[in-house]
Amino acid sequence: MYNGKSVSVILLAAGASTRMGSNKMLLDFGGLSPIDLCIKAFIDFADEFLITYSADTYSKVEAACSHIQVPFKLVQGGNTRQESVYNALCESSCEIVAVHDCARCLVTKEIIRSSIESAIEFGCGIASTRVTDTIRNTETGDTVDRDSLIAAQTPQSFRRTDLLRSYNSANKSFTDDAAVYKSNGGVLYYSKGSTENLKLTRPDDIGLFKAILALREESLCFVSGSVKTHTGSRRAGN
């Protein structure tokens, strides 16, 4: 229960990992898989987890769920992301649903909180960041006005009944839940994202992910060790 609303968390772990060359859900980051990392991030918000799996990832998903203290369901993934989300959505039972790609295993509680709060208040919350790179149209060579562009991430959170209605009405393929929701008349609201909320896609990403996680761990050790963040004072006895 979050702010008086029950929350279903849908974690997508059934992808083919084509660009990675091997299944990225099986990767190890300090003893934790991407699925483990996502569960850890979402656990404070979830009344239930619905985790999609493929034949390759079933055992890893099952192992990750062994320590979950809230209800969970393992849901067989579909042939596409859209099918996987729909399969899980049909099994969900809460008022708010937060959909997240396990490939974005660097997601933080702050990003999750912002997305869910936006869904509660406005009907949806699409984690996103402003585009800062120069974008060009390859056909015309013209620079695209980036002030009107955002980079959509996950989680993408919605009122469950609205998202399910949108999925039931969808008559073509979409790349994310925001597009499905918008196709049925939904108004999009964008919540806080982060440039660190990256998607694990290619082998070159692995080293970067490990580096970010190591820096976060180092920061946590620093905070819980000799220095307190709110005062900057040294711990008693030092």
Domain ranges of the chain: 7-202
Terminal-to-terminal C-alpha distance of the chain:
41
pLDDT band at 22 (very low <50, low <70, confident <90, very high): confident
Question: pLDDT tens-digit profile of 83-101?
Answer: 999 999 999 999 999 999 9
**Residue 173: what residue type?**
S
pLDDT at 238: 37
User: What is the three-class DSSP state of 226?
Assistant: coil
Could you tell me which CATH number the domain at 7-202 has?
3.90.550.10
| CA atoms of 11 and 218, how far apart (whole Å) | 27
Sequence-ordered list of residues with C-beta below 8 angstroms from that of 150, at least 6 positions apart, any chain? 128, 129, 130, 131, 190
| CA atoms of 10 and 7, how far apart (whole Å) | 10
pLDDT at 10: 98
Average pLDDT over residues 10-35: 88
Lowest mean pLDDT among 1-10, 119-128, 193-202, 219-228: 219-228
User: What is the three-class DSSP state of 49?
Assistant: strand
Q: Where would I find the beta strands (DSSP E) of 55-95?
A: 72-76
Question: pLDDT tens-digit profile of 56-70?
Answer: 899 989 999 998 999
H helices then E strands: how many in the chain? 7, 9
Q: What are phi and psi of 156, to 5 degrees?
A: -120, 115
pLDDT at 123 over 90: yes
- DSSP state for residue 90 in the 8-state scheme: H
Question: pLDDT tens-digit profile of 34-55?
Answer: 999 999 999 999 999 999 999 8
Asked if 50 and 9 count as a contact pair (C-beta separation under 8 A), the reply is yes
Average pLDDT over residues 23-41: 94
pLDDT at 232 over 70: no
Q: What are phi and psi of 53, to 5 degrees?
A: -140, 160
pLDDT at 222 over 80: no
pLDDT band at 121 (very low <50, low <70, confident <90, very high): very high
pLDDT at 196 over 70: yes
| CA atoms of 80 and 16, how far apart (whole Å) | 9
Question: pLDDT tens-digit profile of 125-177?
Answer: 999 999 999 999 999 999 999 988 999 999 999 999 999 999 999 999 999 99
pLDDT at 236 over 60: no
Question: What is the rounded average pLDDT for all residues in the chain?
Answer: 91
Asked if 65 and 49 count as a contact pair (C-beta separation under 8 A), the reply is yes
The answer, yes or no, to whether the previous bond of 71 is cis (omega within 30 of 0) is no
pLDDT at 85: 98
pLDDT at 209: 97
| CA atoms of 116 and 152, how far apart (whole Å) | 15
pLDDT at 163: 98
